[in-house]
């Protein structure tokens, strides 16, 4: 193998832009005075913030200009991503719909195909919705008769959505336009006359649609409406609102038989919800009879406590089959007759070890269920009536990323991928009673040979002795001599499981830079159910950081890497994870990449939907929870590691690792002020306030334009960002390019 020398060009002398510190802003949290000198950075549309962002971008650009591998990374990523990608199709009235990207299109297009052997054609290409590919498709809903497509578009990665409607047969766009939609789904009624959706009231300064800037105000008073095709939004039927509970979020869904509209009611990101239903067939004049009456639909509150998660899988008349974690942290299936709401019985009891992740009613009386066992998926066919196992369905070690099928269909599509499998869409034929799996589409990546690599699962002890699973993916037969650069990724929050997925960027890192790539399944996730989640949330949040630090220590002690070559990465809650870990153990890591992180743990609840995260973090307005948060909040725990009593390592190096913080100007989920305030604090504490500071490792921010929290980015933006962050890691850790 030919090898090129490591990047030789030195980093430029770093002159960080000055950031005004306002000493007058000090908050009293339960008797503890906490300064917030960069509060002005929360005014994201101010000229001062825009100037500061521009100055920080110039610093990052100067650093990236010295990162020699940047162009090569971009070239390799572009080549690897230039392959056809498919998602699983779904079926409406004999017509199939699916997403497909032939290679380097900015976004996958939605295709339509009449019959399994029909000629596919593009129904909607999001790339045509804007000149610069910053408008993306965020949700779709096809009517049961396959006649109409309702689709939600989002500009610059924002969570705000505008819903439009298209006639499928001739691509004719109806005049319908629904604004101020957020945290919604499109739920068609079975007659195809319209759909339910959720929205917030238009702001007082509404000019008709979300404007080009970022809105950071708190989202309150979610409402559910029904929209009749071909009518103005102002004529939509208000179906539900609850002004006494302004923080509730509503998700409507129509049962497959068309008889009921369901309402899942949540208050936070926790897996608990209330469950309401309305019998549409009992409305005397149907939904049209509610037009202009200002009366809400007569929803019945089946579950009216926030005690557990309830997701309806199927119904036979009044008998509902429900996926729930009620008294079952690894989930189970229960059944209730809504005419006798005390009649709950278990259909498929909780497993002793595996987590029941998903259940789908198919082919009349059957269930396709998906278990997660030691972070590996198990697929089974069971009877809907009694839950008994009918057939195991063999799949490789990897992730089931989607199952599409309905009770009226005798076929199901299963979407699969793993670290070394770019993607397979299986078609499962159920017509004979025995599920027959065949490969419907397989994604192949030119230039990628899976036999060059290996993926394995290891278990390592955390600080308290808990065994934590971690996937380690690398070239085959590497020597465990501590010489390899390593990328350690983690999340650890909100019950989200980090399962095996294919990543073109990881392949380039392993193949061309010799990286070992690792995913740690730390506590706070859902890998072992709700107990694992709760063991890494609220008062237990420190376990997440201990687990991630222990993963790094394991990779070093096992000979995969050394601290100067260990890069850690995470996004959102994972950005918080990375930031907290470099505060607590700066000497353990050679580079840190923190994407769109929650960095100010005392004020996150004051912006957009941040209040919904208090279920995992707590809230500084409560004294006990403030005491947890102030201990690890990244913004409030930047210390000079070279000073005595700064905590952490006995063998500590005298500075923080090279750090890149990544955010975007339209992130209205975790607003950019989190990253900007943390950046200013790091640069001030470690660099600009110190004569001849030992902190020579760069601390920079990559601030993307016309992008959001990560969803809806174009292929080119994905390539550019990956090339930048990994070129920065390779440069600062002295990693050589391998041809």
Who contacts 236 (Cβ-Cβ below 8 Å, separation ≥6)?
Answer: 178, 225, 226, 227, 228
Q: Of the listed 709, 714, 720, 724, which one is catalytic?
A: 709
Known active-site residue 409: no
Burial label for 249, CB within 10 Å (0-12, 13-18, 19+), is buried
- Compute the distance between CA of residue 183 and CA of residue 152 in angstroms, rounded to an integer: 11
Known active-site residue 674: no
Give phi and psi for 457, each to the nearest 5.
Answer: -110, 130
Q: Which tokens go with 150?
A: 């309702």
Burial label for 217, CB within 10 Å (0-12, 13-18, 19+), is exposed
Closest of 633, 608, 636 to residue 619, by C-alpha: 633
SS (HEC) of 104-172: CCCCCEEEEEECCCCCCEEEECHHHHCCCCCEEEEEEEECCCCCEEEEEEEECCCCCEEEEEEECCCCC
DSSP secondary structure code for residue 398 in this structure: S
CB atoms within 10 A of CB 695: 21
CB atoms within 10 A of CB 614: 20
Query: How many CA within 13 A on the CB side of residue 393?
Result: 28
Cβ proximity of 551 and 522 under 8 Å: yes
Count of residues making up the chain = 739
Known active-site residue 83: no
SS3 assignment, position 523? coil
Q: Of the listed 667, 668, 704, 720, which one is catalytic?
A: 667
DSSP codes of every residue in 184-230: ---EE-TTSSEEEEEEPPPPTT--SS--SS---S-----EEEEEETT
- Cα dist. 720→176, 240, 655 in Å? 36, 43, 29
Q: Which tokens go with 345?
A: 């019985």
Residue listed under structure tokens 């699983």:
88
CA dihedral over 323, 328, 332, 333, signed as positive or negative: negative
- Compute the distance between CA of residue 332 and CA of residue 414 in angstroms, rounded to an integer: 21
Q: Of the listed 136, 158, 572, 714, which one is catalytic?
A: 572
Closest of 377, 385, 335, 339 to residue 358, by C-alpha: 377
Q: Give 262's strand partners.
A: 253, 277
Residues annotated catalytic, as ranges: 572, 667, 709
């Amino acid at each position: 193998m030919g090898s090129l020398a490591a990047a030789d060009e030195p980093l430029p002398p770093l002159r960080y832009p000055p950031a005004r510190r306002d000493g007058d802003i000090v908050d009293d949290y339960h008797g503890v005075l906490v300064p917030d000198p960069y509060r002005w950075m929360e005014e994201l549309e101010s000229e001062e913030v825009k100037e500061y962002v521009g100055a920080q971008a110039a610093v990052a650009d100067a650093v990236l200009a010295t990162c020699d591998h940047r162009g090569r990374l971009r070239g390799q990523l572009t080549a690897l991503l230039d392959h056809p990608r498919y998602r699983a199709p779904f079926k409406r009235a004999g017509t199939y719909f699916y997403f497909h990207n032939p290679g380097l299109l900015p976004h996958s297009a939605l295709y339509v195909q009449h019959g399994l052997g029909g000629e596919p054609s593009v129904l909607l290409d999001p790339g045509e919705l804007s000149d610069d590919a910053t408008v993306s498709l965020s949700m779709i809903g096809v009517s049961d008769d396959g006649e109409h497509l309702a689709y939600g578009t989002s500009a610059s990665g924002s969570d705000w959505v505008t819903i439009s409607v298209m006639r499928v047969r001739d691509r004719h766009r109806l005049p319908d336009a629904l604004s101020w939609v957020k945290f919604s789904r499109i739920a068609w009624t079975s007659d195809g006359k319209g759909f339910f959706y959720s929205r917030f009231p238009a702001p007082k300064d509404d000019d008709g649609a979300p404007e080009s800037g970022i809105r950071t105000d708190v989202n309150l008073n979610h409402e559910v409406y029904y929209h009749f095709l071909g009518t103005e939004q102002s004529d939509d039927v208000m179906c539900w609102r609850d002004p006494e509970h302004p923080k509730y979020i509503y998700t409507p869904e129509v049962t497959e038989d068309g008889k009921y509209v369901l309402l899942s009611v949540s208050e936070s990101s926790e897996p608990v919800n209330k469950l309401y239903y309305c019998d549409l067939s009992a409305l005397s004049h149907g939904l049209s009879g509610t037009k202009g009456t200002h009366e809400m639909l007569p929803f019945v509150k089946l579950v009216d406590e926030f005690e557990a998660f309830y997701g309806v899988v199927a119904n036979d008349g009044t008998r509902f089959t429900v996926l729930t974690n009620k008294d079952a942290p690894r989930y189970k299936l229960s059944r209730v007759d809504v005419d006798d709401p005390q009649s709950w019985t278990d259909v498929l009891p909780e497993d002793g070890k595996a987590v029941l992740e998903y259940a789908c009613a198919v082919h009349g009386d059957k269930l396709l269920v998906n278990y997660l066992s030691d972070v590996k998926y198990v697929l089974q066919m069971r009877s809907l009536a009694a839950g008994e196992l009918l057939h195991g369905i063999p799949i490789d070690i990897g992730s089931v990323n989607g199952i599409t099928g309905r009770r009226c269909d005798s076929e199901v599509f299963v979407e699969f991928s793993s670290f070394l499998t770019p993607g397979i869409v299986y078609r499962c034929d159920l017509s004979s009673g025995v599920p027959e799996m065949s490969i419907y589409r397989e994604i192949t990546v030119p230039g990628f040979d899976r036999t060059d690599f290996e993926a394995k699962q290891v278990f390592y002890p955390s600080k308290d002795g808990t065994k934590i699973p971690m996937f380690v993916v690398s070239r085959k037969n590497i020597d465990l001599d501590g010489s390899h650069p390593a990328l350690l990724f983690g999340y650890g929050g909100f019950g989200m499981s980090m399962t095996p997925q294919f990543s073109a960027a990881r392949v380039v890192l392993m193949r061309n830079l010799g990286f070992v790539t690792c995913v740690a399944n730390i506590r706070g996730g859902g890998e072992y159910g709700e107990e694992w989640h709760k063991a890494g949330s609220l008062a237990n949040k420190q376990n997440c950081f201990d687990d991630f630090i222990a993963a790094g220590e394991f990779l070093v002690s096992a000979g995969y890497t050394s601290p100067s070559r260990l890069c850690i990465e995470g996004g959102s809650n994972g950005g918080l994870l990375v930031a907290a870990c470099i505060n607590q153990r700066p000497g353990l890591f050679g580079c840190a990449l923190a994407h769109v992180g929650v960095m100010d743990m005392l004020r996150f609840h004051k912006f957009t939907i941040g209040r919904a995260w208090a279920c995992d973090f707590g809230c500084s307005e409560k004294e006990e929870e403030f005491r947890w948060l102030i201990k690890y909040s990244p913004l409030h725990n930047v210390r000079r590691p070279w000073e005595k009593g700064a905590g952490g390592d006995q063998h500590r190096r005298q500075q923080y690792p090279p750090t890149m913080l990544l955010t975007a100007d339209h992130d209205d989920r975790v607003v950019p002020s989190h990253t900007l305030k943390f950046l200013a604090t790091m640069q001030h504490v470690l660099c600009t306030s110190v004569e001849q500071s030992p902190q020579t490792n760069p601390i920079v921010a990559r601030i993307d334009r016309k992008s959001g929290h990560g969803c809806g980015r174009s292929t080119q933006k994905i390539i550019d960002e990956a090339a930048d962050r990994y070129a920065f890691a390779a440069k600062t850790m002295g990693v050589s390019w391998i041809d």
